[in-house]
Amino acid sequence: MAFESLASRLQSTFDKLRGRGKIDEAIVNEAMREVRLALLEADVNFKVVKQFVARVKERAVGQDVLKSLTPGQMVIKVVNEELTELMGGNVSKLAVSNRPPTVIMMAGLQGAGKTTTTGKLAKLLQKQNRKPLLVACDIYRPAAIKQLQVLGQQLNAPVFSLGDQVSPVEIAKQAIQHAKEEHLDYVILDTAGRLHIDEALMEELQQVREVAKPDEILLVVDAMTGQDAVNVAESFNEQLELTGVILTKLDGDTRGGAALSVKAVTGKPIKFAAMGEKLDSLEPFHPDRMASRILGMGDVLSLIEKAQENVDMDKAKEMERQMRQGEFTFDMFLDSMQQMRQLGPLEDLLAMMPGMNKMKGMKDLKVDEKQLARTEAIVKSMTAEERANPDLMSSSRRKRIALGSGTTIQEVNRFIKQFDDMKKMMKQFTGMTDKMKKKSKKKGGFLPFKGKPPVDPFGGMGGADGKKNGGMNFPFNPFK
Amino acid sequence: MSFFKKLRETIVKKSEEVTQKFTDGLSKTRDLLVEKVDDLVRRYKKIDEDFFEELEEILIAADVGVNTVMELVDELRSEVRKRKIENALDLQPVLSEKLVELLKNNEDQNCKLNIEEGRLNIILFVGVNGVGKTTTIGKMAHMFKQEGRKVLLAAGDTFRAAAIEQLEVWGDRVGVDVVKHQQGADPAAVIFDAVQAAKSRKVDVLLCDTAGRLQNKVNLMEELNKVFRVLQREVPDAPHEVILVLDATTGQNAMAQAKAFGKSAGVTGIVLTKLDGTAKGGIVIAIRNELDIPVKYVGLGEKMDDLQPFDPEQFVHALFAGLIAKESEEAEEDSEGTSQSDFEQK
């Protein structure tokens, strides 16, 4: 239940009631209950949920949802729009002070990821040819200063520290002076994590604010935070007047309802999202994608973007051309597999596919990366000749390949059979996609994967999905 | 001598303050819940959907877990239908019945750490990033040291910048040794060395730190599993405890964490940290109900002695006492009173 997407739940609600002929407000209420549950499961604060559902309901009734042939779709559309709107537009810009240095102050609970995010923010600024100074204002947690220094080293950015015996207020003051002297244009103050109800420490933050007069005060929030996110955000905002929020640990599998809660109670924009362990994993926040994520509806846009970043377009085009001629060799197979693997762990990709979480057994499915590696080993144990000409495979060759790849002959046989199946399927599809393309041109339809064929990891599954997605160049099915 | 006496007194006083803070914090929740439910029952003369909805919200606000709450409320719904209850006031005893059931599941669970005299006890700490693993290890090392045990720490977080230094600072504070490699080293190798060192130094308790990792990162979970296997191989029936450190502010995702870490590292217990804030960590009830993993300790601050043993009954009582009808509350008051004073003595 937990990971069932809102879409499928709404659908089943409306399906249940379809036979009744008359659709009335009771059904809307039923649908709203599903919306509410989905949001609560995603950790959106219950007060925020309440207001939100009331607004959606109003719109849903007004917008002729009931007369629509697909009321479930309509409700989702409304929910999605409202969510996106509530989470604000794209505002990933940082303030720039007209009298440098621009001062950014980081604040948040313990363990939200302030120090790491400070490093990531510095990296982002460096990419924009800015010169950030990292300031170690966390004098409480053991080795926090050292942590910032290590990050500074990795980034090749200066770190300002006065040890852990000087008050953060003094550190901030001197750091800004230092930045002026050294002509550094950004100062990022990494403060200690603190509870929003710790009066002494909150008072200290206020003092730092007085002295440093930061242009940005960013609250760092763990995306996994539950109902309490509201209290934390409200309290920090009241005492510090935040200018924005950074959401961390979004690369986890949390739905991240905290984002909505925080935005709703503070009204401050979520500027960035931290998406990984590496220092360059700070990304602009996309409200629309977050909306889909909270609703458990996948994140196609991020998937496409990822593909664009990682896929070698020339290679892909060449492969597409070959495939259109009905060619498919082990070399091509290997290429497409490697390209796909560059996109990251398969499971991450799966999580981004809409509807994947709806499929039976999908949520427990563990894509066996090892199996992929074995397949790779099999292909790599073939001679160049064999790879270019799949028809060569005699039984003695198969035996040799099994030995060379550390697999069994059965595995090799199975793989080759799969490969042959793919090849057949591909011939059918290439014919079909040509027709599809002509059609879609007429209709002006949008084929999300048109032109970058190797990103479709599920080609081998065939069926309606495959037809929809145009070029079928990666038909290897890891789930067999 | 008087100096030591004074020192002792201040320490005792401090820990009493902490205990006070804990019970205060929970009693605040309790009062709030009492008030809310009383108010709810009074306002709704008739039981309808809105009534259930509001009841759900009251429970969900404590992060109890949507599934647990929904099950509870669904059961209530069917009871209402079966017993033909119309008045909200009449529902209250049924409600308490259900909540007491929730308690019963937990009675036989052991919240003590599996520590035995005369052997090397190994405790592995796991969890996502930033929940307080290293801090908890520092506190626990202090606790074992106070009990007169010989403690060794293993700096298994070789990934995060300055994590090793952080553990070393704790080692210095508490006065125990730390086995470490360099940043970027194989954590399993660090743990292996630590076990060897612990054996030769005849250590009582070895606390193993690991890097924070999100539970959906397959590779990192594999790495953790390797650490786990190394421990299993080097010492029979080790690790004796695998502690999942959970941040009390975490919402529904804590369930996914408990499941994933349970799978790859065989979690035996939970330490709930940052309970000194406004979050109440209600999700541990859901975890307890669905996965049967008990909470063993709670973290209440950043100081050495801010780690307290966890009393599950007290915790659930504190969260739900308000929802339990007056009659049963009276009966339980005595037992609760004693457990309360027990708790304070600790």
What would the pLDDT profile of A357-374 be if each residue is shown by its tens digit? 444 444 444 556 677 788
The CATH number for A263's domain is 3.40.50.300
Rounded CA-CA distance B266/B281 in Å is 21
Q: How far is B290 from chain A (nearest CA, A)?
A: 13
A279 and A132 share one domain: yes
Judge: A142–B129 Cβ closer than 8 Å, yes or no: no
Count of the separate structural domains present in chain A: 3
pLDDT of residue B179: 94
Query: What distance lies between CA A423 and its chain's CA centroid?
Result: 33
- A475 is a domain residue: no
A111 and A57 share one domain: no
Q: Could you tell me the pLDDT band of residue A474, with boundaries at 50, 70 and 90? A: very low
pLDDT of residue A369: 67
By CB neighbour count within 10 A (0-12 exposed, 13-18 middle, 19+ buried), where does B338 fall? Answer: exposed
Judge: A143–B162 Cβ closer than 8 Å, yes or no: yes
A270 and A121 share one domain: yes
Judge: A149–B162 Cβ closer than 8 Å, yes or no: yes
Judge: A253–B214 Cβ closer than 8 Å, yes or no: yes
- A477 is a domain residue: no
Number of other CB atoms surrounding residue B31 within 10 Å: 12
- A381 is a domain residue: yes
What 3-state DSSP class applies to A202?
Answer: helix
In the predicted structure, residue A19 carries a pLDDT above the cut 70 = no
A398 and A421 share one domain: yes
| CB distance B267 to B125 below 8 Å | no
pLDDT in tens, A256-277: 888 888 988 998 889 999 988 8
pLDDT in tens, A70-97: 666 677 778 888 888 888 766 668 888 8
- A92 is a domain residue: no
Q: How far is A47 from chain B (nearest CA, A)?
A: 8
A115 and A244 share one domain: yes
- A149 is a domain residue: yes
Chain A CB contacts of B162 below 8 Å: 143-144, 146-147, 149-150
For residue A214, which of A203, A205, A202 has the smallest C-alpha distance?
A: A205
- A302 is a domain residue: no
Judge: B251–A144 Cβ closer than 8 Å, yes or no: no
A270 and A417 share one domain: no
Q: How far is B227 from chain A (nearest CA, A)?
A: 19
Domain end call among A26, A60, A86: A86
Give 3-state DSSP helix, strand, coil % of chain B, rounded to 5: 60, 10, 30
pLDDT of residue B206: 94
Chain A CB contacts of B252 below 8 Å: 2, 41-43, 226, 254-255
Q: Could you tell me the pLDDT band of residue A247, with boundaries at 50, 70 and 90? A: very high
- A183 is a domain residue: yes
pLDDT of residue A333: 79
A281 and A323 share one domain: no
Chain B CB contacts of A222 below 8 Å: 130, 247, 249-250
pLDDT in tens, A198-227: 889 999 999 999 999 999 999 999 999 988
Portion of chain A with pLDDT greater than 70, in percent: 68
Judge: B132–A111 Cβ closer than 8 Å, yes or no: yes
Partners of A83 in the β-ladder: none
Minimum Cα–Cα distance from B167: chain A residue: A142
CATH topology of domain B121-310: Rossmann fold (3.40.50)
Q: How far is A158 from chain B (nearest CA, A)?
A: 16
- A476 is a domain residue: no
Is-cis flag, bond preceding B93, omega within 30? no
Judge: B163–A111 Cβ closer than 8 Å, yes or no: no
pLDDT of residue A7: 63
Evaluate if pTM is beyond 0.90.
no
B45: its two tokens: 């003369």
Q: Which amino acid belongs to residue B240?
A: H
Rounded CA-CA distance A96/A210 in Å is 19
Q: Mean of the per-residue pLDDT values for chain A? A: 77
Partners of B297 in the β-ladder: B271, B309
Helix (H) or strand (E) holding B88: helix B88-104
Rounded CA-CA distance A446/B75 in Å is 47
The CATH number for A61's domain is 1.20.120.140
Rounded CA-CA distance B199/B201 in Å is 6
A53 and A108 share one domain: no
Which residue of B129, B180, B245 is the best one to mutate when testing the A interface, meaning the one whose CB has the most A CBs within 10 A?
B129
Span B2-109+315-345: which CATH code? Answer: 1.20.120.140
Domain end call among A297, A324, A351: A297
DSSP A438-456: HHHHHHT---TTTT-GGG-
The closest CB to that of B249, out of A109, A151, A351, belongs to A109
Partners of A134 in the β-ladder: A159, A188
Where is average pLDDT lowest: A155-159, A345-349, B76-80? A345-349
The closest CB to that of A226, out of B70, B166, B250, belongs to B250
Judge: A147–B163 Cβ closer than 8 Å, yes or no: yes
**What's the domain range around A239?**
102-297
Judge: B166–A224 Cβ closer than 8 Å, yes or no: no
Which residue of B131, B169, B252 is the best one to mutate when testing the A interface, meaning the one whose CB has the most A CBs within 10 A?
B252
The closest CB to that of A143, out of B49, B169, B215, belongs to B169
pLDDT in tens, A278-331: 888 888 888 887 887 777 765 555 666 666 666 666 766 776 677 666 677 888
In the predicted structure, residue A438 carries a pLDDT above the cut 60 = no
A317 and A356 share one domain: yes
Domain end call among A55, A86, A117: A86
The closest CB to that of B60, out of A151, A227, A345, belongs to A227
List of chain B residues with pLDDT < 70: 1-38, 41-42, 44-45, 88, 96-97, 99-110, 312-346
The strands making up A186-191's β-sheet, listed across from edge to edge, are A159-160, A132-137, A186-191, A102-108, A216-222, A244-248, A270-274, A282-284
| CB distance B163 to B134 below 8 Å | yes
A261 and A317 share one domain: no
Q: Kindly list the domain boundaries of chain B, sorted by start residue.
A: 2-109+315-345, 121-310
